[in-house]
Structure 1
Amino acid sequence: MISAKIENGLNELLSGANVNIQPSVAELIEKATSRGEAKLSADGALSAETGKYTGRSPKDKFIVEEPSSKDKIDWGKVNRPISQEIFDSLYTKVINHLKAKDELFVFKGYAGADKESQLSIQVVNEFAWQNLFVHNLFIRPTEEELTTHEAQFTILSAPTFKADPAVDGTESETFIIVSLEKRIVLIGGTEYAGEMKKSIFSVMNYLLPEHGILPMHCSANVGEEGDVALFFGLSGTGKTTLSADAKRKLIGDDEHGWSDNGVFNIEGGCYAKCINLSKEKEPEIFGAIRFGSVLENVVLDDKTRVPDYDDNSLTENTRAAYPIHNIENIAKPSMAGHPKTIVFLTADAFGVLPPISKLTKEQAMYHFLSGFTSKLAGTERGITAPEATFSTCFGSPFLPLPATVYAEMLGQKIDEHNAQVFLVNTGWTGGEYGVGKRMELKHTRTMVNAAIAGQLNDIEFEVNEIFGLAMPKAIEGVPSEVLNPRNAWSDPAAYDKKAKELAHLFRENFKKFKYVSDDFVQKGGPIAE
C-alpha cells in the first residue's frame, strides 16, 4: 500500500511545471536532439549512447523487503533484499532530483495485451530519448484510454542521479529498486534503457502467477492456421530473430503471458540486438528501424549518419527499440491461442549440444529449470567473452518467485495443450567457441520451421549418448553432418570430453533444485558421466 508521503511526493512531482505528459514521437525526437541527448540517424531513428553502462546491472538490482511480499520472494543472489528505510531515503532524493530538472517526460501506458490482466503503468524520465524508448516498448493507450488511465505502477528513472554507497546503502552509484508494496521502481546512475523494460517484466512475473497466468521470457508467433509457437531463451540466443518470420504473424519478441485464454504479449514493442544486423539476414528487423525507433550504442558515420551495425566499439550489446507495428506481419491485437510448439533456445559456447532435439516431458522440465546458455559479451556489465551460464526458466534475473512456481505452471500447460518441446542450439558447432563456428541462421530457421510444421513428429531419430537427446537423422535443407554435433567435430574424442564437461556442469547446477521430482533428474538430464 502506498503511504501518504510517497503518494504526495509523486503527485507533487507530476504536477510540476517542468512535466511533459504523453509527448508525441516528434516532440521527443526534437527534444532529444536539441538537448544533445541523441542524434538522428540516416534512416530516421534516434541514436543514443548510454555511457559506461551498456547492459543491465544485476548486482545493483534490489527488491524492498516488505511485509506483504517478503514471504513470497525467492531471496538470494538474484532477488536481493533492501530495507524500506533505504528505499524511502532514495525515493526522496530521486524525487527532489527530478523536481530540479528543467524538463521531465512522462509516459502513461500498459503492460499486458490481455485486458483481463493488464497492468497500467507510468514512467517518469529526465531524458527525452528514454521516454521515446518506453513509448516504443510498452503498450500505448488510445486517446479514450488515456482519459481514464490510473497508474498501478510507476518507474522513476533518474540516470544522472548517482547514489553514494556509503550513505545510501547501495552497492555502487547505480541502483534499480522495486517496491512491490509501494508499486514504485527507482532507477538511478545508469542510462541503459533496458533496465526500465526488465523492471516491469519482473513486476509482471510477481503479479501474474497469482491469477493463474504463466509469465514467460520468450518470443511468440502464430501461423495462418492459428498454430502458436513460443521461443524461450536469454539475450542473444535468437528469440527476436527467429520469431520475426515473414510467413508467420509476430505476437511479440520477448515477454509473454500464458493464460486460460491463450498467449498474449506483455509489451508493445521490440528490443532487438542489432550487432551485425543486415537487410539480407534479418529483413524484418532491419526494415523496422526507421523514424520513431531508438538505437542504443550503435555507431553512426560522422558525416552520413548511416548506422554501422558491425561496429562493436561501444558494446556487443547494440540495440534497436521500435513499436511492434513497425513489423508488418503482426498479430492484432498481440494475442493468440494456446501453443502447439515450444522451442528452448541456447547459444552453446561448448559446441556440443545438437542444433535441434525433441524433448520428452521430463527433459523439457529439466532443461526449462536449467536454462542453459552462454552469456554473450555486453549483455551484462563485466561480460567480455561468452561464458557458460544457467538461468532458471531462461529468465532467472527477472523471476521474483521460486523457480518451481513457473516450472510447474509450464508443465501443466504442456500437458493440458499437448505441446511439443524442442531444444535448439543457436551457438557453436564443430568445436567450442574460438575453434568451431556459429550455427548458420538459415539452417536454424529450416529446422525450427520443420518443427513448427510438424515435420519432425514421425521421422527417424538417434539418441545423443551423453545427453540422451533425440536428434533427427535428416531434415530437408540441412546438411546431415550438422544434425549430430559429434560428427561435426574433427576429433570425436575431443567432443566426448567437452560434452561430458558440460554434462557435469548441468548436474552440479541441478543440485540446487532440492524439491524437484527424481523423474526430472533421472529421465530429463544427461545420461553419461
Structure 2
Amino acid sequence: MSKYLEFNTPASKEAMELASDFRLKHQGLTYLDRVYWNLPEEALYEEAIFRNEGKIIKGGPLLVNTGKHTARAAADKYIVQEESTGNNIWWGIYNRPYSQAKFNELFGRLQAWAQGEELFVQDVYAGADPEYRMPVRIITEKAWHSLFARNMFITIDNKDELKKFVPEFTIIAVPGFKLNPVIDGTRSETGIILNFGAKMAIIANTLYAGEIKKSVFTVLNYLLTFRDVLPMHCSANVGKENDAALFFGLSGTGKTTLSADPNRKLIGDDEHGWSSKGVFNFEGGCYAKVIRLSAENEPEIYSTTHRYGTILENVVFDPVSRAIDLDDDSITENTRASYPIEFIPNVIPEGYVHAHPKNIIFLTCDATGVLPPIARLSPEQAQYHFISGYTSKIAGTEIGLGIEPELTFSACFGAPFMVRHPFEYAQMLKQRMLKHNAKVWLINTGWVGGRFGVGKRISIRHTRNLLNAALDGILDNVNYRKDKLFGFEVPTSCPGVPSEILNPESSWGNKEEFWKKYDALAARFIDNFKLYEKFCSKEVIEAGPRRLNRTGLEG
C-alpha cells in the first residue's frame, strides 16, 4: 500500500524481527518497499484494520469480504508441464498443462509488479507428523491472508528456527496482480498456477483465501505419494480405544461437522496423510462452511464464529451492533470461517496419531433422494465408490454453481486437488484398508422423501446416530438387506433412527418415480466409471450398480 505514499504502519518497526536469512531476494522478489515477516495474530489484526481490509465484529473475529471471487476458481488452475513431473500428472480439466516458457514470462511480470510493494510472509509447516512435514512459505499481498496462513498451517514460535527457515515450496498470493489471457494463455485474468520444478505457485487476482489452502493441499497430494503416504481429502478423528476414523467427502457433505464429535478427539477437519505409522493432519487449522450454522447442531464450530482469531469470509453483519447473521446468504452460500484447530475443544494437539483407521466413511450428498442414509461396502465396492466419488455440489463452493445442487462425480472425493491418476490413490487406499482390516461405510447426508425441492435434507441428528452406531460397533449386530441396484448392505434398524429412513423407497409417495430416479442414478455411475475401467480389475468393475429393466435386473 505504500507504493505511492510513505508512512509507517502499526507493525513497521517489528517487520524484520522474525525474518528468515533466506530472504525474498533469493526467490527473485527484489526492490520491495517493506516485507513483514511472520507477524503474530495481534499484529496482523492491526495491519488488516489499518489497511481497511476487514472489520472486527462482535466477539472479536475479523470479518472480510472477498469481492467477486467467493469460491474457488476451479477452471483457472494450471500445472506447469516440465521435466520433473514427466508422466506422473493426471492431465485434464483439473490439471491443465501450462508451458514453462509462459510461466517464466508470467513470473517476470510479477517480479516487476511487486517492486515498491509491501508484502507479508509466513514461514510455516504443512504436515503435523515431523517425519513428513514440509516447510512452506506463504507470501501475501494482504495482511489478512497472512493471518489466514497462520490459522491454517503449523506455525513456528522459535526465533532461531525462523531465522534458519528455507522453504521447500512457496505460495505467492497476489490478488492485485491480474493475468492477461492474451499474453499468459489463461482463461481469464485469474489464475492458480503450480510449478513443481520451480517449487512455487502463483495465485493471481482472487481474494478467496481457500485458494491458498487448496494449493498447498494439491502440492502435498503429489509429493507425498512418492514417500509412500496416501494424501486424503478427508477429516479424521479418534475414539477412546485409539480407533481412528476417516471422513471423505466434498465441501458441503458434512466432513467438518461430523468429525467434530465431543466423544471423539479431532485430528483434523479436511486434509490428511495415511503413512505406515498412522494418520496425520496436513494443517493446523480449520476452514469450515458456516452458512446456517446453529449452536444446537454444531456447537463447537458455531462458537468459533464469535471469538477473536477467527476470520469470517463473506458473512453478513450489522454495522451498528456488529452482530453476524449466519443465515444470510445474500453475499454467497459459501460463507466460511478460518480458525486454529485448538479452537475446537476436543482435539489431538500433536495433529497425528500412530493408529490406523478402523472405519472409513464416504460422505455423499445425494440430491436425488434415493440412496440409503448408510450402507456397508465390501473392499471392491469401496474401491469403486472411492474412484467414483459421487455427490452433489452444493451452491457456492465453486464459481458458477447455481442454487440447485449439481450431481457430480469427483474421483477420490476431491478430484480438483488430485494431481496423480485416481487409480494411484485408490490402489494405496486398498492396500491400507486390507492391511488394517478397516470397515468402509457410505453415508448419505442428502435428501430423503424425494429429490431436492421435493423431499427434505436428512436430519443431522439421524446422521449422527447412524455414524455413532457404525463407529461403536452397534451396526455389527443388526440385520442387513442387500440393495437391489448397488449391491451394498443396508442395515434394517438402528437405535434412534426411524426404520422408514433406512429404506428410502418407503418415504416416497410415488414408488415408481423412486425406482426411475434410482435407476437413472445407477446409469450415471456406470457411465462415469467407463473413464476408469481400463485401470481397474474385473472385481472392482463388477462391484458397481446394475440397471433395472422391465423384468427386474439386467445381467
TM-score, L = length of structure 2:
0.92
Shift of 1:511: 0.1
Shift of 1:468: 1.5
Shift of 1:10: 4.8
Matching residue of 1:120: 135
Hey, what's the Cα distance between the residues in 2 that align with 1:57 and 1:11? 26
The question of 1:232 aligning with 2:248 is answered yes
The question of 1:490 aligning with 2:509 is answered yes
Shift of 1:11: 3.9
Structure 2, gaps ≥5 residues long:
1-22, 549-553
Matching residue of 1:170: 186
Hey, what's the Cα distance between the residues in 2 that align with 1:361 and 1:525? 15
Shift of 1:14: 7.1
Hey, what's the Cα distance between the residues in 1 that align with 2:182 and 2:32? 31
The question of 1:479 aligning with 2:495 is answered no
SS at match of 1:478: coil
Quick one: which amino acid aligns to residue 340 of structure 1? K
Mapping of 1:346-425 within 5 angstroms?
346-384=364-402, 385-425=404-444
Q: Show CA shifts across 1:366-388 (max 9, x none).
A: 00000000011110000012110
- Deviates most, 359-368 or 141-150: 141-150
Shift of 1:142: 2.8
Distance 1:319 1:10, change over 3 A: farther
Shift of 1:8: 7.8
Equivalent in 294, 302, 319 of residue 319 of structure 2: 302
Matching residue of 2:150: 135
Matching residue of 1:510: 529
Shift of 1:163: 1.0
Hey, what's the Cα distance between the residues in 2 that align with 1:217 and 1:96? 36
Shift of 1:288: 2.2
Matching residue of 1:89: 105
SS at match of 1:82: strand
Cα contact 2:523–2:547 (8 A) shared by 1: no
Cα contact 2:372–2:503 (8 A) shared by 1: yes
Shift of 1:361: 0.7
SS at match of 1:115: coil
Shift of 1:41: 1.3
The question of 1:327 aligning with 2:347 is answered no
Matching residue of 1:108: 123
Shift of 1:280: 1.1
Hey, what's the Cα distance between the residues in 2 that align with 1:469 and 1:59? 35
Q: How many residues are treated as equivalent by the alignment?
A: 522
Hey, what's the Cα distance between the residues in 2 that align with 1:15 and 1:148? 22
Hey, what's the Cα distance between the residues in 2 that align with 1:451 and 1:142? 40
Distance 1:25 1:395, change over 3 A: same
Matching residue of 1:452: 471
Matching residue of 1:53: 69
Quick one: which amino acid aligns to residue 332 of structure 2? T
SS at match of 2:424: helix
Mapping of 1:63-102 within 5 angstroms?
63-101=79-117
TM-score, L = length of structure 1:
0.97
Cα contact 2:28–2:111 (8 A) shared by 1: no
SS at match of 1:71: coil
Q: Show CA shifts across 1:183-233 (max 9, x none).
A: 000010111110110011010010111011100000000111111010000
SS at match of 1:26: helix
The question of 1:248 aligning with 2:270 is answered no
Matching residue of 1:4: none
Quick one: which amino acid aligns to residue 199 of structure 2? R
The question of 1:520 aligning with 2:504 is answered no
Quick one: which amino acid aligns to residue 311 of structure 2? V
Hey, what's the Cα distance between the residues in 2 that align with 1:13 and 1:367? 45
Cα contact 1:465–1:527 (8 A) shared by 2: no
Quick one: which amino acid aligns to residue 287 of structure 1? S
Shift of 1:467: 1.7
Equivalent in 357, 362, 365 of residue 344 of structure 1: 362
Quick one: which amino acid aligns to residue 505 of structure 2? R
Equivalent in 280, 284, 289 of residue 268 of structure 1: 284
Shift of 1:95: 2.5
Matching residue of 1:3: none
Hey, what's the Cα distance between the residues in 2 that align with 1:387 and 1:168? 31
Cα contact 2:61–2:308 (8 A) shared by 1: yes
Q: Percent identity?
A: 50
